[in-house]
Amino acid sequence: EGVGPTEYTALKLKVKEWSPEAQNAIDGKIAKDAAVYFVPATLRPETMYGQTCCFVGPSIKYGVFKASDKEYFVCTKRAAWNMCFQGTFFDIDHFPRDQKELEPVVELPGSAFIGTLINAPLSLHTEGVRILPMETVLATKGTGVVTCVPSDSPDDFATVRELAKKAEYYKIKKEWAELEIIPVLETTAYGKLTAKHLVETMKINSPKDDKQLAEAKDLAYKEGFYNGTMLVGEFKGEKVQEAKEKVRQSLIQSGDGFPFAD
Ligand code: A2H
């Protein structure tokens, strides 16, 4: 961050079952044999084994964009525009000259997607995970979609804890926010559930404690990267420093992910 673009890994989370509101809006607008994906951007590809849900900003506007003949992506228009220049949308009918010309087949606020069931690549929750709301998602960063790894991201841990506590208020089923938190990597300082450890010991009470969460995020990132060892997956037993790029390449190779610069 700071100098030059951020090199993210974008992940393709395939829709298995739409929320009723999204289903209504999308009916008849997408070919029956096409797949639709939510595409979160992450800096921690090595943690994707621990995904338990995927966040959207409830009041952020999202588009469903045609990426190729058989594939549509859900993200912000800003991100779709960037993808046009990064070779990701390889089969668009019209190359747009500006963001106005880039037309989604459907446009909806994040709130419409809440409850949608998706398949998260590498996640040990193979039964699928849900789209859930996160108030602190920024429309101006990444793709506007954030995959949730509560074992290693303090923001994600604080958010799922809040969602489970106030499920009714957030209009979600409690169990959607209570999928088991899976240990993905172990660090010397914080053990197997880094985010839980930091949020609890730093007494972070809410996803809106942004100062403390920024500090926790920094600690988690550094400790994970320099002193982390993988507990699961293809690179189990390897140092995070080595596994990080290997998981990224593996995701890109399998077609479950692609590079995304912001
Ligand atoms: B990371 P940076 Cl396990 N709004 O992925 C808010 N947050 C966003 C976002 C947006 N529009 N787009 C991406 N992000 C999150 C995993 C992860 C992440 C872990 C631990 C830390 C972590 C699972 N969530 O991020 O500001 C995404 O969450 C802390 C570095 O560009 C993305 O990586 O540095 C990260 O923020 C990008 O943050």
Q: Is the CB of 238 under 6 A from ligand 1?
A: no
Pair 57, 135: CB distance under 8 Å: yes
| Within a domain: 22 | yes
- Bridge partners (DSSP) of residue 71 are 35, 68
Q: Is the CB of 120 under 6 A from ligand 1?
A: no
Q: Please count the residues of the chain.
A: 262
CA angle 155, 45, 163 (to 5 degrees): 30
Show the domain range for 38: 7-231
Tokens of 218: 């920094």
- In what side-by-side order are the strands of the sheet with 41-42? 41-42, 7-11, 257-261
Distance (Å, rounded) from C-alpha 180 to C-alpha 124? 10
| Within a domain: 68 | yes
Q: Is the CB of 34 under 6 A from ligand 1?
A: no
| Within a domain: 17 | yes
Give the model's pLDDT for residue 2: 53
| Within a domain: 237 | no
For the segment 42-93, what is each residue's pLDDT rounded down to a tens digit?
A: 999 999 999 999 999 999 999 999 998 899 999 999 999 999 888 787 665 6
Atom 6 of ligand 1 has which residue's CA nearest to it?
137
State the closest ligand 1 atom to the C-alpha of 41, by its place in the atom list counted from 1. 13
Pick from 224, 204, 228: nearest CA to 215: 204
Q: What's the gap in Å between 139 CA and the centre of ligand 1?
A: 13
Q: Is the CB of 154 under 6 A from ligand 1?
A: no
| Within a domain: 226 | yes
Predicted TM-score (pTM) of the model is 0.96
**Test site for ligand 1: of 38, 62, 141, most ligand atoms within 8 A of the Cβ:** 141
Ranges of H-type helices in 114-175: 154-165
Q: Is the CB of 142 under 6 A from ligand 1?
A: yes
Give the model's pLDDT for residue 90: 61
Distance (Å, rounded) from C-alpha 86 to C-alpha 107? 22
Q: Is this prediction's ipTM beyond 0.95?
A: yes
Distance (Å, rounded) from C-alpha 113 to C-alpha 174? 16
Q: What's the gap in Å between 148 CA and the centre of ligand 1?
A: 9
The amino acid at 154: P
State the closest ligand 1 atom to the C-alpha of 144, by its place in the atom list counted from 1. 11
For 244, residues 6+ apart whose C-beta sits below 8 A from its C-beta are: 44, 45, 46, 225
CATH classification of the domain holding 96 = 3.90.740.10
Distance (Å, rounded) from C-alpha 8 to C-alpha 19? 28
Query: β-strand 7-11 against 257-261: which pairing, if any?
Result: antiparallel
Pick from 125, 111, 221, 242: nearest CA to 176: 125
Q: What's the gap in Å between 173 CA and the centre of ligand 1?
A: 24
| Within a domain: 242 | no
Domains of the chain: total? 1
Per run of 10 residues, the mean pLDDT along the chain (length 262 residues) is: 78 98 96 94 98 98 93 96 84 72 93 98 98 97 98 98 98 98 97 98 97 98 97 98 97 97 91
Atom 21 of ligand 1 has which residue's CA nearest to it?
153
Distance (Å, rounded) from C-alpha 188 to C-alpha 170? 36
| Crossing angle for the helix pair 240-254 and 210-227, to the nearest 10 degrees | 100
Q: Is the CB of 137 under 6 A from ligand 1?
A: yes
Give the model's pLDDT for residue 92: 59
For the segment 108-127, what is each residue's pLDDT rounded down to a tens digit?
A: 999 999 999 999 999 999 99
Q: Is the CB of 138 under 6 A from ligand 1?
A: yes
| Within a domain: 252 | no
Per the prediction, the chain carries an average pLDDT of 95
Rounding to the nearest 10 degrees, give the CA dihedral for residues 240, 243, 245, 251. Answer: -120
| Within a domain: 246 | no
